[in-house]
Chains A and B, each alone.
Chain A
Amino acid sequence: MREVVTAEEGEVFDIELEESLLEANRRLAEQNRALLDQHGIRAIDVMGSVGSGKTSLISCLVERLKDQYRIAYIAGDLTTTIDADLIARHGIPVVQVNTGKECHLDANLVAKALKRLDLASTDLIFIENVGNLICPAEFPLGSHDRLVVVSITEGPYVVMKHPYIFMEAQVAVINKVDLAEVMGVDVGKLEADIRAVNPSLRTVRTCCRTGEGVEDVIEALGL
């Protein structure tokens, strides 16, 4: 702290702070990661717009992987339990996190959710982030991978308009390819846009209605 000016009615000080406003979340994310690693758990943060197919994809993944891994699911939703109920039908542990009006999950909410899971008997956790292509990018949760789901129905500009989330992810899933023709969307162009934003992102085409491409997602995640 150093004095700068001495005003008549008092003193004016400059206080140096240099404090990141995003740091608190990052620190908590690191703690989550440490906790997961300590239990040998792999966690995957699934991001994407409302309706892009996050829950459908997780359901397909759980279906195929549940004999191989002890899977748990954390559902981030504004207020409902629809997704949680759907995934619970696979007979795996499910924690619902109601974020209220928040536009993303944060590391603190995930830390609370982890407390409600039996970590000693879990190998793999899917975390479904709140439906939003913008905000989750800024809030790491401590997951090992971040996967973003975009769907054909979001139109041809979706990647160009939301580049940031693709910078933070390791895997991108282009879902609802069954609708590409009907929607007049060129999937190859979407893939090119994704590569343009982040050349190291693995991109997979899926149709979660039929399960097409889900094996490729598993491979892209190295599961």
Chain B
Amino acid sequence: MHEFSVAKRLFDVALRAALENHAERVSEIRLVIGRLSLVNPDQLAFWFRELSKGTVLEEAKLDIEFEEAEVACPSCGYRGPIGLEDRPEYHLVFPTLRCPSCGSKVKVLRGRDCLIKSMKVLRKK
């Protein structure tokens, strides 16, 4: 859905870094997508491919890693994976901000973002 705008941002950041580093071409881009982020990796890759055609990013392989969601509870001090709510009658499991240990609302520490971690570039001698 909004993967185009995220892909465009990815393209801009990667291209700027490639130019600043006098890259001949970029061979790999490492991304981290949080489990709570709504970015769909396949759609992101699709739009990135489209945008990068004819640029130094054209052959870059997207190496996507997922970041698990981690939360902290201000009420009881719980810190760990986000809680999951199971509705077996609907065959559905969904994440919840309810603290797995005391039920209060937790704060999300990790797993919400989508970031470009690093990239591998090739530079002519």
Contact = CB atoms under 8 A, between A and B. Distances in A.
Contact of B123 (A10, A21, A161): A10
Contacts, number: 124
B64 interface: no
A11 B22 CA distance: 11
A195 B13 CA distance: 39
A139 B2 contact: yes
B101 interface: no
Interface of A is mostly: mixed
B9 to A, nearest CB: 5
A176 interface: no
A20 B38 contact: no
Interface stretch (A36-44, A69-77, A100-108, A203-211): A100-108
Interface string B88-125: 00101011111000011100100001111111111111
Contacts of A11: 122-123, 125
B17 A134 contact: no
Contacts of B95: 163, 167, 197
B13 A157 contact: no
A14 B1 contact: no
Given A137-B38, A199-B104, A200-B105, A19 B121 contact: no
Tier of interface size on chain B: 35 or more
A97 to B, nearest CB: 15
Nearest to B20: A15
B55 interface: no
A104 to B, nearest CB: 6
Nearest to B119: A15
Interface residues of A, number: 40
Interface in A145-192: 157, 160-161, 163-164, 167
A60 interface: no
A24 interface: yes
B10 interface: yes
A197 B85 contact: yes
A16 to B, nearest CB: 5
Nearest to A157: B90
Nearest to A7: B122
B9 A21 contact: yes
A18 interface: yes
A163 to B, nearest CB: 5
A12 B60 CA distance: 13
Given A20-B113, A21-B9, A160-B92, A15 B1 contact: no
Interface of A: 1, 4, 7, 9-22, 24, 102-104, 106, 132, 134-135, 137-139, 157, 160-161, 163-164, 167, 195-200
22 contacts: A4-B120, A11-B123, A12-B121, A12-B123, A15-B21, A15-B119, A15-B121, A16-B117, A16-B118, A17-B117, A21-B10, A22-B113, A102-B2, A106-B5, A137-B38, A160-B90, A167-B95, A196-B85, A197-B85, A197-B95, A199-B98, A199-B105
